[in-house]
Amino acid sequence: MVIKIIDYKAGNAPSVMHAVERLGFGAEFASMPDDLTNASCIILPGVGSAGATMRSLRETGMADALCECVVNKKVPFLGVCVGMQILFEHSEEEDAVCFGWLKGCVKRFDSKLVRVPQMGWNQVCFVNETLFNAPNGYFYFVNSYYAEPENSGHTWGIAQYGNSFTAAVTKDNIYGTQFHIEKSGEAGLALLKGFIQLC
């Protein structure tokens, strides 16, 4: 099994690597397309903006390589925070055109209703069964934007922040969490372990 963690300019790959190693698994950073050749599963961390993330992935050729692995070869994939948001077609953040693997868009929280960004622990309830059981519990968020899937069947977990919003998504071999699994204590590690065991 070869776990690949995408290492790009706007990411927090070392933190995710540390979480994987805490679980007793090994992983490798991937920063160029050829690094994904032997991937058993792929994790795309996210820090920063959707636009900057997509620009970085396109400039290095990683965007096309990820499409080949995830969409065509069906390699298990986990996107974290911005790594989840760019799974959709469009983000209001920098008017970014994203992967479009999931139908829908990413919108900004209404600052008239809630403090933006959302920062801290929030409860997530998993509503969609997947190939592994994700634990309901409190996870750590840092986000000004949230995903709005076109297909409600792609919503994996929900949370409340002003209104109910999609906190995690799933479609076939694709998983995404708006919260930071690597900063979410035991609940985050349990979810990460469940994903890795898919491989």
What string of pLDDT tens digits covers the 199 residues of the chain?
A: 899 999 986 668 999 999 999 999 999 999 999 999 999 999 999 878 999 999 999 999 999 999 999 999 999 999 999 999 999 999 999 999 999 999 999 999 999 999 999 999 999 999 988 877 888 999 999 999 999 999 999 999 999 999 999 999 999 999 999 999 999 999 999 999 999 998 8
Catalytic machinery residues? 81, 180, 182
Q: What is the DSSP string of the chain?
A: --EEEE--TT--HHHHHHHHHHTT--EEEE-SGGGGTT-SEEEE---S-HHHHHHHHHHTTHHHHHIIIIIIS---EEEETHHHHTTSSEETGGGEE---SSSEEEEE--TTTS-SSEEEEEEEEE-S--SSPPPPEEEEEEESEEEEESSGGGEEEEEEESEEEEEEEEETTEEEESSBGGGSHHHHHHHHHHHHHT-
- Spelled out in words, what is the top-level CATH class assigned to the domain 3-197? alpha beta
Structural domain spans, the chain: 3-197
User: Residue type for 31, please?
Assistant: S
pTM for this model (two decimals):
0.96
